[in-house]
């Protein structure tokens, strides 16, 4: 599902050599759930007992009924939701009352609410999830916790040997950054919250436990509901992703039946596709994520090259003699000292990238454009080439950055494609090959764009020529007109 707030990751940098009220759950009676004959006609008996017990719990809590058009089932992805009847596009496939949502409001209303009030939302929800897990049979969420996996194929769970397969990639630097961040947050919350509150946390929470909770939130949380930046929805989070789904407007918060005689807010999920009985129900997790993002958040990638991307980071160097002027211009036009540009395979350069590059490269004879008299017009000037020297510097620096980044990978695109053709590889190795191949293809694409631009430098029209034309000082053949007194 939607991921937690993004965490800043290290990227390739280019420098220019210039001088809820408590959501209470229905009280579970002390009994084991019977799942035999009761479920035989409803759910595949090959489904694990934990899933069968979870399904029965959902029935007893009124979350599912005979009208619910989906059920858990075995699918190529592992476990998913399967249509029990034909479903039309935009049909409601499930509703989960608010009292079952796992979010900061649920934490605030719980026994650990007071000690978690000052924590980052994801950390408080992670602690809540861990506490429910360790409570075992005493947890009101026991049957949900039991169906959660021990981990995913997210790169945060990869071994050192597996991480070597993404050497040189931005995914590796992002993964290491995230792991360092999560470990740091764990040590802090362990010292400040967990250890001083033994009555609330009478069990040992390890770093691995904390990473498990982080991974569950990262891969299962929804974030597009009204006023909900982080919420896990039991039952709804069984739904899988498909590239066939090209919209994200499938989930919403609505008023609905929360029980036999009560109404409350419910999480409502609609099918973005028309389905036949027996087909799997899918949604789109996030259209904007790159394959590297998908690998980190969910533990899988798409074969679609549209997900291949590379983030180019551009920076105004503090050593630049025009640092203050350039920063002022950048901030006046929606940028800052550092700008990140996500470049996708098969697509043109992002809006504003060339303008920012030309600003960074301004100097020498072009530096007069940085004077305050041009401050309101400079961004418009930057939409077109400034000078040959400026444009040439841009091409040289970007191509050098691409060359440097490409040298960091331990395989070539051709070697990756050969490995892919051979097949017979683990899911993680397949992901690694897909991500590193995708990044390299984008880098080659960027290099080709600026290589071609270098061949056009003699034919581009620069600022001085445009200015002379505006003043009527250039003839039809491009020759400068000299005015002589009569």
d(C-alpha 297, C-alpha 28), whole Å:
33
Which residues have C-beta within 8 Å of that of residue 482, sequence separation ≥ 6?
none
Paired with 264 in beta bridges are 256
Asked whether 343 and 310 are in contact (CB, 8 A), the reply is yes
Q: Is 78 annotated as a binding residue?
A: yes
d(C-alpha 212, C-alpha 480), whole Å:
70
Which residues have C-beta within 8 Å of that of residue 331, sequence separation ≥ 6?
none
Which residues have C-beta within 8 Å of that of residue 387, sequence separation ≥ 6?
365, 366, 462, 463, 464
Q: Is 285 annotated as a binding residue?
A: yes
Which residues have C-beta within 8 Å of that of residue 76, sequence separation ≥ 6?
none
Q: Is 237 annotated as a binding residue?
A: yes
Q: Is 286 annotated as a binding residue?
A: no
d(C-alpha 54, C-alpha 60), whole Å:
10
Distance (Å) of CA 177 to CA 59, 110, 121: 42, 31, 20
Q: Is 340 annotated as a binding residue?
A: no
Query: Any idea what the Cα angle at residue 344 is, between residues 6 and 285, rounded to 5°?
Result: 50
Q: Is 90 annotated as a binding residue?
A: no
Asked whether 16 and 317 are in contact (CB, 8 A), the reply is yes
Q: Is 224 annotated as a binding residue?
A: yes
Say whether 314 sits in a helix, a strand or coil.
Answer: strand
Q: Is 79 annotated as a binding residue?
A: yes
Q: Is 218 annotated as a binding residue?
A: no
Give the ranges where 283-377 is alpha helix by DSSP (H): 291-297, 323-332, 353-361
285 is catalytic: yes
- Of the residues 157, 285, 356, 409, only one is catalytic, namely 285
Q: Which of 45, 209, 218 is nearest to 127 (CA)?
A: 209
Q: Is 375 annotated as a binding residue?
A: no
Structure tokens belonging to residue 114: 């007071």
Say whether 228 sits in a helix, a strand or coil.
Answer: strand
Residue 282 host element (H or E): strand 282-283
Asked whether 460 and 388 are in contact (CB, 8 A), the reply is yes
- The annotation places the binding site for S-adenosyl-L-methionine at 77-79, 220, 240-241
- The annotation places the binding site at 77-79, 220, 224, 237, 240-241, 285, 298
- The annotation places the binding site for substrate at 220, 224, 237, 285, 298
Q: Which residues are catalytic?
A: 285
């Amino acid at each position: 599902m939607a991921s937690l707030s993004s965490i800043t990751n290290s990227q390739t940098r280019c420098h220019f050599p210039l001088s809820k009220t408590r959501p209470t759950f229905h009280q579970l009676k002390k009994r084991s759930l019977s799942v035999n004959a009761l479920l035989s006609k409803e759910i595949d008996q090959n489904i694990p007992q934990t899933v069968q017990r979870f399904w029965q719990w959902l029935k007893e809590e009124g979350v599912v009924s005979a009208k619910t058009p989906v059920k858990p089932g075995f699918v190529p992805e592992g476990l998913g939701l399967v249509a029990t009847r034909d479903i039309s596009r935009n049909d409601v496939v499930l509703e989960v009352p608010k009292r079952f949502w796992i979010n900061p409001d649920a934490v605030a209303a719980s026994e650990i609410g007071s000690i978690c009030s000052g924590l980052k939302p994801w950390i408080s929800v992670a602690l809540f999830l861990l506490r429910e897990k360790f409570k075992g049979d005493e947890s009101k969420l026991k049957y949900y916790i039991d169906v959660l996996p021990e981990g995913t194929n997210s790169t945060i769970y990869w071994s050192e040997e597996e991480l070597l397969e993404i050497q040189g990639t931005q995914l590796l630097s992002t993964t290491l950054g995230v792991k360092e961040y999560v470990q740091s947050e764990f040590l802090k919350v362990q010292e400040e919250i967990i250890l001083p509150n033994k009555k609330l946390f009478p069990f040992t929470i390890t770093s691995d436990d904390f990473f498990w909770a982080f991974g569950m939130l990262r891969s299962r949380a929804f974030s597009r509901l009204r006023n909900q930046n982080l919420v896990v929805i039991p039952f709804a989070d069984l739904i899988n992703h498909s590239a066939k789904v090209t919209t994200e407007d499938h989930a919403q918060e609505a008023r609905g039946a929360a029980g036999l005689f009560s109404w409350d807010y419910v999480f409502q999920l609609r099918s973005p596709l028309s389905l036949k009985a027996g087909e799997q129900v899918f949604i789109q997790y996030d259209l904007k994520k790159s394959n590297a993002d998908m690998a980190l958040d969910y533990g899988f990638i798409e074969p679609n090259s549209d997900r291949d991307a590379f983030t180019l980071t551009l920076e105004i160097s503090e050593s630049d003699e025009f640092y203050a002027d350039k920063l002022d211009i950048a901030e006046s036009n929606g940028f800052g000292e550092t700008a990140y540009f996500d470049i996708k395979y098969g697509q043109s350069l992002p809006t504003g990238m060339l303008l920012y590059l030309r600003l960074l490269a301004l100097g020498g004879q072009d530096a007069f454009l940085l004077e305050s008299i041009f401050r309101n017009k400079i961004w418009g000037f930057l939409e077109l080439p400034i000078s040959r020297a400026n444009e040439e510097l841009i091409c040289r620096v970007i191509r050098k950055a691409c060359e440097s980044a490409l040298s960091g990978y331990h395989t070539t695109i051709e070697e990756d494609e050969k490995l892919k053709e051979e097949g017979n590889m683990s899911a993680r190795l397949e992901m690694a090959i897909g991500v590193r191949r995708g990044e390299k293809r984008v880098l080659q694409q960027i290099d080709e764009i600026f290589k071609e631009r270098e061949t056009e430098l003699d034919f581009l029209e620069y600022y001085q020529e445009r200015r002379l034309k505006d003043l009527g000082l250039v003839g039809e053949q491009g020759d400068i007109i000299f005015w002589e007194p009569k």
